[in-house]
Amino acid sequence: MALSEVRAKALPCRPGDALRLVTLTSDCIDAGAALSDATGWNQTADDWAIFIRNGHAIGFRDAADRLVATAAALPYGASAGWISMVLVADAWRRRGLASALLAACVEHLRAAHIVPVLDATPAGAAVYARIGFAAGFEIDRWEWKAASAQSGAAKAALASSARGMLPAGPSDLDAIAALDRASNGLERRFLLESFLSRPGTRAWLPRNGRGFAVAREGRRATQIGPLVAGSESEAIELLAAAFAPAGPSAGRDVFLDLPRGRPALQDWLEAQGFVRQRPFVRMSLGAAQPPTLGETCVVLAGPEFG
Ligand X SMILES: CC(C)(COP(=O)(O)OP(=O)(O)OC[C@H]1O[C@@H](n2cnc3c(N)ncnc32)[C@H](O)[C@@H]1OP(=O)(O)O)[C@@H](O)C(=O)NCCC(=O)NCCS
Binding residues (CB under 6 A) for ligand X: these are 39, 86-88, 93-99, 120-121, 123-124, 126-127, 130
Provide, rounded to whole angstroms, the least separation between the CB of residue 224 and ligand X: 21
Provide, rounded to whole angstroms, the least separation between the CB of residue 234 and ligand X: 30
Nearer to ligand X, 103 or 269 (CB): 103
Q: How far apart are CA 240 and CA 166, in angstroms?
A: 12
What kind and span of H or E run contains 22? strand 20-23
Among all residues, whose Cβ is closest to ligand X? 124
Provide, rounded to whole angstroms, the least separation between the CB of residue 205 and ligand X: 32
Q: Find the radius of gyration of the CA atoms of the chain.
A: 19
Provide, rounded to whole angstroms, the least separation between the CB of residue 138 and ligand X: 14
Nearer to ligand X, 118 or 246 (CB): 118
Provide, rounded to whole angstroms, the least separation between the CB of residue 15 and ligand X: 17
Nearer to ligand X, 23 or 39 (CB): 39
Q: How far apart are CA 141 and CA 91, in angstroms?
A: 27
Helix spans in 200-231 (H): none
Helix, strand, coil shares, percent, the chain, to 5: 40, 30, 30
Nearer to ligand X, 45 or 123 (CB): 123
Nearer to ligand X, 50 or 88 (CB): 88
CA-to-CA dists, residue 154 to 145, 147, 151, 222, 244, angstroms: 15, 15, 5, 20, 10
